[in-house]
Amino acid sequence: MRFFIADDDEAIRSMLAEIIEDYDLGEVVGEADNGSVIDHHLLELKNVDILIIDLLMPIRDGIETVRNLNCSFNGKIIMLSQVEDKGIIGEAYSLGVEYYITKPINRLEVVGVIRKLLEHIHLEKSILDIQKALSILEVGKSKEKKFPILNNESIVSSGQFLLMELGMIGESGSKDLLDMLKYLVNYEKDKASEHDFPPLKDIFTTIALNKLGTSADSSDLKKEIKASEQRIRRSIFQALNHLASLGLTDYSNPKFEEYASKFFDFTEVRKIMMELKNGTKPSISNTRINIKKFVKVLYLECKKRL
């Protein structure tokens, strides 16, 4: 990946470039000490994939620079800032900033944020490649109503992207959810109606058997089903907290607007938002989590993106 770094502090630019090089995250193809020199022509000329830009800079700050880029820059943006004002952060997100890195710079935080963003980029590319492949397959076919071609590879790629969007891709229950998506693809192929949805118990039992093998005894099977349910519940709880945090920072955040009420009962989202606002740590035991609704919505949303 090709990075461009904009910060009025030369030491920070040097530190970020060193981290990117040391961890083999990509190459730095350009730097600037203020936003006035940055436009889409410069970024296109240098073929920039990721712009890392400071919020507060002389001449033209990060927010104004990103606003001027508008939709002309197709790459990703990471904002650097010591500012914790929710209004400013919300505006940055609304302008297309993907992630924040707080100052003073922490090496591990920088590496973690960039790696998450790189994974996001690779997932988007995988989904785009799948969509292109499906489009090629459709060439020459009649113009009758078309349905998405589903298989395990395509549904997993789409699922990984959505789990990334929901802030839960690193949770242990993510693999269980992806296994559920693969089960649902096979289940739908065997059913006459795509609107039929299997009992949650059947889904848990099947993915547990796939993991343990058909020779597993009933006690081991029950333990794995319970463990899987707990992993998924924790992962969904993480997604709920992630979306609530986005909404608390900026109620018009596009991810919050698109996913919060779709995946969750909005009363639960509001409850988590109020707890976060009051400095109370949300508890999974006091949160109502509808696993079946989440899985069903996840599957339908994955299909829509194919």
- What's residue 110's pLDDT? 93
Give me the mean pLDDT over the 58-87 stretch: 83
* Whether residue 87 sits in one domain with residue 208: no
* Whether residue 300 sits in one domain with residue 151: yes
* Whether residue 236 sits in one domain with residue 175: yes
* Whether residue 300 sits in one domain with residue 217: yes
Q: With b meaning 16 or more CB within 10 Å and e meaning fewer, what string describes 66-92?
A: bbbbeeebebbbbbbbebeeeebbbbb
Q: What is the domain count for the chain?
A: 2
* Whether residue 152 sits in one domain with residue 297: yes
* Whether residue 63 sits in one domain with residue 190: no
**Does a structural domain hold residue 133?**
no
Range of the structural domain that residue 205 is part of:
147-304
Instruction: Calculate Rg over the CA atoms of the chain.
Output: 22
At 137, the pLDDT band (50, 70, 90 cuts) reads low
**Does a structural domain hold residue 76?**
yes
From 118, 136, 160, give the residue that closes a domain.
118
**Does a structural domain hold residue 134?**
no
Q: Which of 21, 306, 5 is nearest to 157 (CA)?
A: 306
Q: What tens digit of pLDDT does each residue of 148-188 get?
A: 556 778 888 889 999 988 989 888 999 999 999 999 988 88
Mean pLDDT of the chain: 85
pLDDT > 90 fraction of the chain, expressed in percent and rounded: 40
**Does a structural domain hold residue 135?**
no
Instruction: Give the H/E segment covering residue 27.
Output: strand 27-32
Give me the mean pLDDT over the 245-271 stretch: 86
The answer to whether 243 and 269 are in contact (CB under 8 A) is yes
**Does a structural domain hold residue 97?**
yes
Domain at 24, CATH number: 3.40.50.2300
Largest CA-CA distance found in the chain, in angstroms, rounded: 69
* Whether residue 163 sits in one domain with residue 22: no
**Does a structural domain hold residue 123?**
no
**Does a structural domain hold residue 126?**
no
- What's residue 107's pLDDT? 92
**Does a structural domain hold residue 274?**
yes
* Whether residue 156 sits in one domain with residue 99: no
- What's residue 145's pLDDT? 46
- What's residue 183's pLDDT? 92
Cβ-proximal residues to 122 (8 Å cutoff; 6+ apart), any chain: none
From 98, 118, 138, give the residue that closes a domain.
118
* Whether residue 34 sits in one domain with residue 90: yes
Q: What tens digit of pLDDT does each residue of 85-136 get?
A: 666 777 777 777 878 888 888 999 999 889 988 888 888 777 777 766 766 6
Give me the mean pLDDT over the 76-89 stretch: 78
